[in-house]
Amino acid sequence: MTTFADRLQSSIDTTRSALIAGCDPVIDKLPRFLIDQAAAQSSTDDEFIERALAPFCEAFFEAIKGRVAAVKPNIAFFEQYGLTGLSVFKRLCDALRAAKIPVIIDAKRGDIGSTAAAYSAAFLGSTTVRGHAYTAFEGDALTINPFLGFDTLEPFVTDCERAGKGLFILLQTSNPGAKDIQGLSANGKTVTLHVAEWLAKNAPRLVGSCGWSGLGAVVGASYPDEARALRAILPSTLFLMPGFGAQGAGADDAAAGFGTQNGKRGGALVNVSRGLLEGTATSLETLRELISSNADKFNGQLKGALA
């Protein structure tokens, strides 16, 4: 069994990319041709949702394949469309994993005891159905909210140890109000620093032969100074860095979170979501070309900053 960190590093090496493509579809903001086609083919809301989301996700998959190190579908953007949306979400995750593209499910789960275990079973481990193991929405890693306490993280970490999966713990997020709670001081240290110390202590539990730990952290590219400080505390922790592109952070900001292992600079995935759809598409072919072109653009910017 390979670790998540090693599978991710292999994908980074193969694609020569440190980008992670976020998939956050909102039907009303999809290209007009998709909405019009879905409306013409549908008599119910569920049919419309299926015929709008499924072609978009298929085009997204084809466009990013080989261009990004991983994909981060945000389950909330599919949940808002009910069971039909979740069905499309599952098919996307399954297709990505079948193509050996690491899938980091953005669900920000976190709860106590048996509830945490159930969340983990849904995305990382498994539950039992008719005597066999069953995983509802299998991914390679999951985003986690730690603010109910460190004991709530244990079921997730244990499943990752057993199944070779990974986690990204919310540490220093990219939103403007992040420091309202994360920046509060407790016992002479910010909440962020308390979480970072827990991560540093537990990182060896999910470390791969590549030197990076799959017990990762979400560190916003919008805060480059904080990212550098956290990298000093967490030299082996994989960072998932939102905020690049449409949220205002530049490539130089994102580069602040990278570290070094085995003589190679790395250890960070830089997220781009809305930026992949910048521009106009009038067909599935031009949509694929648009996403591919934008991915190449962001890859170029990030490689320039890292050089």
Q: How far apart are CA 126 and CA 283, in angstroms?
A: 39
Q: How far apart are CA 138 and CA 118, in angstroms?
A: 13
What is the DSSP secondary structure assignment for residue 207, as one 8-state letter? B
DSSP string, 15-78: HT--EEEEE---GGGS-HHHHHHHHHT-SSHHHHHHHHHHHHHHHHHHHHTTTSSEEEEBHHHH
Q: How far apart are CA 41 and CA 52, in angstroms?
A: 10
Q: Residues near 224 by Cβ (< 8 Å), separated by ≥ 6?
A: 249, 252, 253, 254, 256, 257
- Of 235, 23, 186, 97, residue with least CA distance to 217: 235
**Dihedral sign from CA coordinates of 165, 171, 175, 180:** positive
303 labelled catalytic: no
3-state secondary structure of 199: helix
**Phi/psi of residue 137, each to 5°?**
-135, 75
Choosing from 65, 108, 297, 303, which is the catalytic residue? 108
Query: Would you please indicate which residues are annotated as catalytic (active-site) residues?
Result: 108
